[in-house]
Amino acid sequence: MERIGTRKLRVMLVPLPLQGHLTPMLQLASVLHLRGFSVIVAHTEFNSPNPENHPDFTFIPLKDGVCSPSANLLDMISAINTNCKEPLEKCIVELQGQLSCIIYDSLLHFVDTVAHHLKLPTIFFRPSTAVYMQSYLSLLSLHGKMIIPLPESHLEEAVPELHPIIRFKDLPLSVLSKIPQVVIDFVKSFSDIKSSVAVIWNSVEILDDFSIHQQYQVPFFPIGPLHKMASSSSSMPTSLLQEDPGCIAWLDKQALKSVLYVSLGSLATLSSEALVETAMGIANSGQPFLWAIRPSSVAGSEWIECLPQGLRGVIQERGLIVKWAPQKEVLAHPAVGGFLSHCGWNSTLESLSQGVAMICMPFFGDQMINARFSVHVWEVGVEIGNMADRKSIEEAVRALMVDEQGKEMRCRAAEIKHKLHLSMVKGGSSCRALEDLVEFITSLSA
Ligand code: UDX
């Protein structure tokens, strides 16, 4: 029961204003609202969610001083951590003890500082896997033991104490040169759960390994995939960019499982050469495709001006390029047979939840680890580097969409889809974790 007397329990959520972090936090807000909590979202003005899309939540903007998207994410996150401290404190004080707890994105450590000072419990929220978080602890340990920098010859070796498929080259930071102190401080700031009383993971028992909780000795709740757990509001719009709905009508005209969906998420960028190589590889495969290319995601271009006119003609014959797609709807469409993805964690979960196999083209952060798991543990993908030439891209598309290998991957992806479904229904791991989380938050107000 989430009420004390007749009062609904109220939680505050503080998201990081980047698509891959904001979306799962809003989904978490929706999950908690469905379980009877009253939800306040305290958010930056930069990349603000649109309150009109979420009439059930109360939104409180925090002055962040971030005037424009910075090319340097570390600078942007540091600015938010510094500038939002005072506004958040003021806002909590004004709420006069009405909050049960604050759930904050792990990169926003200022929230824990403010809440701790005001004696309010916090819960640490990670939108990615526990295995990925563990890789940062490994990096800190390697740095502490002065093992970094490592010679290039070690890149293919497995990282001690991590899953054996994770090599030094899959780590989120390069081990070839000394890691600057400012980066080490940043990693320490988000890999420490500080005074948080629990951790929520947008992850699932069957896909992840939570041994990191030998270090984080607090209760943890793997309640993913959140986009599915928030099912009754799965159409809840969370995109910062305008989705192009026209691609669904285009998909409706394509044959079953024939289309390759291509998207590299909300942050990765391509050089114009890489764009042309990818386009040539996909075009030469002969497979129909839907490609979401964000404006400004190709270096030196507003959008796709650098694609030669002739190539655009070929592309138009069997493909569609949009600026931003309704991705969850696309992945659920029966015409989609594969996903060329950067392997951001949301995209990976969205793909697995629909049983869609992948071509993995990881760029940074957790994407290399997610790609390794997709290819070598779950065996639902083929990997190509983000510098792949047209020939390897063409071969990968054929392997996934046409060859026997692709059929087998689709079967395994369908099995994972089923297992994910089981984890979310009564008795399943994510369902139980959510029940425990609700009870845990309730107990904080008792
Ligand atoms: C970033 C990191 O790259 C990622 O590795 C980390 O796990 C989270 O933060 P991002 O690039 O945003 O993620 O990728 P991802 O996690 O996959 O999130 C992208 C979101 O945008 C997904 O929910 C996807 O459905 C959505 N999207 C993407 C669209 O709705 N339309 C598109 O056209 C492309």
Backbone angles phi, psi at 321, to 5 degrees: -110, 130
High-pLDDT (> 70) share of the chain, %: 97
Residue 246 has pLDDT above 60, yes or no: yes
Q: For residues 163-186, give the mean pLDDT.
A: 97
- pLDDT over 90 percentage in the chain: 91
The pLDDT, as a whole number, for residue 42 is 98
- Binding site membership of 165 for ligand 1 (Cβ less than 6 Å): no
Least confident residue range of 25-29, 103-107, 152-156, 232-236 = 232-236
Compute the average pLDDT of residues 265-280: 96
Q: Which atom of ligand 1 is nearest to the CA of 322?
A: 33
Looking at mean pLDDT, say which of 6-10, 145-149, 309-313 comes out highest.
145-149
Cβ(366) – ligand 1 distance below 6 Å: yes
Rounded Cα distance, 423 and 420, in Å: 5
Mutate to test the pocket of ligand 1, among 16, 18, 19, 358 (most ligand atoms within 8 A of CB): 19
278 lines ligand 1 (CB under 6 A): no
Q: What mean pLDDT is predicted for residues 245-259?
A: 97
Say which range, 82-96, 164-178, 297-311, 414-428, has the weakest mean pLDDT.
297-311
Nearest CA to 293 out of 308, 314, 311, 307 is that of: 307
Average pLDDT over residues 116-121: 97
pLDDT greater than 70 at residue 4: no
pLDDT of residue 2: 45
Tell me, what's the pLDDT at 40? 98
Nearest CA to ligand 1 atom 4: 344
Among protein residues, the one with the nearest Cα to ligand 1's atom 7 is: 345
Given a cut of 50, whether residue 1 has pLDDT beyond it is no
SS (HEC) of 272-340: HHHHHHHHHHHHHHCCCEEEECCCCCECCCCCCCCCCHHHHHHHHHHEEEECCCCHHHHHHCCCEEEEE
Q: What is the mean pLDDT of residues 119-137?
A: 98
Q: Indicate the pTM of the whole model.
A: 0.97
Least confident of 185-199, 309-323, 407-421: 309-323
Asked if residue 62 lies in contact with residue 91, where contact means CB atoms within 8 angstroms, the answer is yes
Q: What is the pLDDT of residues 366-387, one digit of tens each?
A: 999 999 999 999 999 999 989 9
Q: Check whether the bond before 149 is cis (ω within 30° of 0).
A: yes
With a threshold of 0.95, tell me whether the complex ipTM lies above it.
yes
Name the residue of 22, 171, 347 to mutate for ligand 1: max ligand atoms within 8 A of Cβ. 347
Q: How close is the Cα of 19 to the center of ligand 1, in Å?
A: 6
Residue of 268, 202, 234, 221 lying closest to 25 (CA atoms): 202
DSSP string, 180-232: PHHHHHHHHHHH--TT-SEEEES--GGG---GGGGTS-S-EEE---HHHHTGG
Query: Average pLDDT for residues 4-30, to the nearest whole number?
Result: 91
Å from CA of 77 to ligand 1 middle: 18
Of all protein residues, the one whose alpha carbon is nearest to atom 27 of ligand 1 is 327
| Average pLDDT score over residue span 70-94 | 93
Mean pLDDT of 105-123: 98
Please tell me if the CB atom of residue 365 comes closer than 6 angstroms to any atom of ligand 1: yes
Give the model confidence (pLDDT) of 307-345 as tens digits: 988 888 888 899 999 999 999 999 999 999 999 999 999
**Does ligand 1 come within 6 angstroms of the Cβ of 239?**
yes
Ligand 1 near 337 CB (within 6 A): no
Cβ of residue 266 lying under 6 Å from some atom of ligand 1: yes
Q: How far is CA 202 from CA 56, 227, 346, in A?
A: 21, 9, 9
| Of 68 and 138, the one with more pLDDT | 138
Ligand 1 center to residue 149 CA distance, Å?
Answer: 31
pLDDT at site 313: 87
Pocket residue to mutate for ligand 1, from 171, 291, 346, most atoms within 8 A of Cβ: 346
When the pLDDT of each residue in the chain is averaged and rounded to a whole number, the result is 95
